[in-house]
Structure 1
Amino acid sequence: MSSAKRLVVCGGNGFIGSRVCKYAVARGWDVTSVSRSGEPKWNAVTSSSTPPQWARKVSWERADILRPATYAPLLKGADYVVHSMGILLEADYKGVLSGQESPLTGLRKAFNTAPQPGNPLERKVPDGSNSDIRPPETKDQLTYENMNRDSAVMLAKEAARENVSAFAFLSAAGGAPVLPARYISTKREAESTIASEFPRMRGIFIRSPFVYDNSRPITVGMAAMTGAGALFNGATRGILGNFMGAAGVKPLKADVVAEALVEALGDSSVKGPIEVPEIEELANKSWRRSMA
């Protein structure tokens, strides 16, 4: 019988999620990725359209993160579970794609200050095959509430039900001037709810800054601007820190964040919010181990 740790990564075909899978495979873990589309389009997450060697060791499964019953069976026997999904801007995607709603209207919704639905534990979303995280009034829209908060909370609930020992949530270092406040507030609400509602499960909240990689040239340029913002924030002793949010925090390579997340899962002493300096420290610890 294998003694390898079993990891399930929801969002494992994404920019950071795929790298989490890579570093977990390197440790000899049994890795399952869960996403709506299965295996990644490799040229979207790496510099090549050809699957890397390690990808053959990952089970690429399909499920809907907004319908817990579709992924719950995949969590059985898992030691660790990762949530690495979220959105930067909201939109009624069906309306925008069909031309019934303009992207501008979608942006207006993102900055809407009207009361939003409470988290699914408060709404008592039922278990079972018909459960859906999205409340009726947002059934066609991906919102900060249902993607950044509710999907993480419900995944944690299902993970706790399976006695998973550690749950990692890819959070964020902060918001940004161009993003609605609800982007970061829903991330923090997810952290708080997971920590308080599932205390027996070690919660790890990776507060990632802006991430970049050479495989996505646009992110390198954006990282340079963010890095300049971080230098300014440091030189002014954080006088505009609350306003700048993540735009004033040192950016990191996607691989650094992914490697740190895997290291955190494997270290039973690591729990709670993990800020940028700790992310770098964990990634360095992992690198030193691999060199030993």
Structure 2
Amino acid sequence: MASAAKKKLVVCGGNGFLGSRICKSAVARGWDVTSISRSGEPTWSSVTASPNAPDWSRNVFWEKANILQPSTYASLLTGADAVVHSMGILLEADYKGVLQGKESPLSGLSRAFSKTKAGGQNPLEASKDDGIESQEGDSQITYELMNRDSAILLARIANEQKILTYTYISAAGGAPVLPARYILTKRAAESTIASSFPALRSIFIRPGFLYDSSRAFTIPMAAMTAGGYAFNSITGGIFGGLMGAAGAKPLKADLVAEAVVEAIGDENVQGPVEVSKIEELATKAWRRGML
């Protein structure tokens, strides 16, 4: 059974689309919640249907810090029971540049789909004071830096502070339109965290495409993804490796947030949490709320 005890939760990336909903779900349970991000409190119109701060947000400590620089946030982890890493990038700068017309398709896509790019310094050895930074020549924020190295660095700091539970928002898979490095760096983060910090109860949440009516463009995209999921199910999943997250069932962002908080509260949950388990945990959370 999940523990009903009040917890202190720190959500790195708590001002994002999923992170803000994780904060909301934890507040609803009466937990002490701190969000860490570069900008502090969210721009509410970007994560909800309203530009106004919701009532629950007054119960969150919205702190500013740099996930790549432990000296800016280590003190905020003091006394925490659990830490969530809900940060990462879907499109790299060069990939966005192509879509926005700021870079030629040939050079931008060639770079975006390159097999390797630099991350930061080794997050297992980096100084707490200096942290890590991009090793790309133009200081580009890469999948290696954000999806992998920042997650490993945060796990290391959490482990050093004897925090019991670490949750990493991973993904069900890549997608045909994304560089393979997107999911490879997610899996690399999971593997390194699990092997390097055995004292942590590490939880790797692997959702597919996330949608919500507050982001209108996600609704038709979810419908298309649902079609891919139906095809993948009918064909017995034989094309799942090629389809990646496009073959996984799309999930409402609030549902995933509820599942994350439920997983943190349930000491029996550890390791990869796939889509079916996410739904199971969200159902448990819903039933708990009905009691």
Relative to the length of structure 2, the TM-score reads 0.92
- Quick one: structure 1 residues 32 and 143, their matched pair in 2 at CA, closer, same or farther if it must change by over 3 Å? same
Match of 1:148 in 2: 147
Q: What are the residue-to-residue correspondences of 1:82-97 with 2, within 5 Å?
A: 82-91=84-93
Match of 2:235 in 1: 236
Match of 2:284 in 1: 285
Report how far residue 72 of structure 1 moved.
1.2
Match of 1:134 in 2: 134
- Quick one: structure 1 residues 62 and 117, their matched pair in 2 at CA, closer, same or farther if it must change by over 3 Å? closer
Match of 2:26 in 1: 24
Match of 1:56 in 2: 58
Gapped runs of 5+ residues in structure 1?
A: none
Report how far residue 109 of structure 1 moved.
2.2
Match of 1:185 in 2: 184
Q: Is the 8 A contact 2:21 2:257 kept in 1?
A: yes
Post-superposition Cα deviations, 1:78-113, rounded to whole Å, max 9, x if no partner, equal 1100000111111169x96xx9x6274444322112
Q: Is the 8 A contact 1:92 1:140 kept in 2?
A: no
- Quick one: structure 1 residues 139 and 162, their matched pair in 2 at CA, closer, same or farther if it must change by over 3 Å? farther
When the two structures are aligned, how many residues end up with a matched partner?
A: 284
Match of 2:16 in 1: 14
- State the SS of the aligned residue for 2:217: helix
Counterpart residue identity of residue 171, structure 1? S
Q: What are the residue-to-residue correspondences of 1:25-44 with 2, within 5 Å?
A: 25-44=27-46
- Quick one: structure 1 residues 215 and 115, their matched pair in 2 at CA, closer, same or farther if it must change by over 3 Å? closer
Report how far residue 126 of structure 1 moved.
2.2
Counterpart residue identity of residue 164, structure 1? I
Post-superposition Cα deviations, 1:243-286, rounded to whole Å, max 9, x if no partner, equal 10000111000001100000000001100000000000000000
- State the SS of the aligned residue for 1:20: helix
Q: How much identity, in percent, do the aligned residues show? A: 60
Gapped runs of 5+ residues in structure 2?
A: none
Q: Is the 8 A contact 1:89 1:107 kept in 2?
A: no
Post-superposition Cα deviations, 1:184-233, rounded to whole Å, max 9, x if no partner, equal 00000000111111111100000011000000110010000000000011
Report how far residue 70 of structure 1 moved.
1.1
Q: Is the 8 A contact 2:19 2:86 kept in 1?
A: yes
Q: Is the 8 A contact 2:155 2:193 kept in 1?
A: yes
Q: Is the 8 A contact 1:87 1:148 kept in 2?
A: yes
Q: Is the 8 A contact 2:229 2:248 kept in 1?
A: yes
Report how far residue 131 of structure 1 moved.
2.4
Relative to the length of structure 1, the TM-score reads 0.92
- Quick one: structure 1 residues 196 and 103, their matched pair in 2 at CA, closer, same or farther if it must change by over 3 Å? farther
Report how far residue 73 of structure 1 moved.
1.3
RMSD: 2.1
Post-superposition Cα deviations, 1:7-59, rounded to whole Å, max 9, x if no partner, equal 00000000000000000000100000000010001111000011111000000
Q: Is the 8 A contact 1:4 1:28 kept in 2?
A: yes
- State the SS of the aligned residue for 2:111: helix
Post-superposition Cα deviations, 1:118-160, rounded to whole Å, max 9, x if no partner, equal 87246x32222x222423x356211000000000000000111
Cα separation, 1, equivalents of 2:263 and 2:182? 24
Q: What are the residue-to-residue correspondences of 1:68-83 with 2, within 5 Å?
A: 68-83=70-85
- State the SS of the aligned residue for 1:208: coil
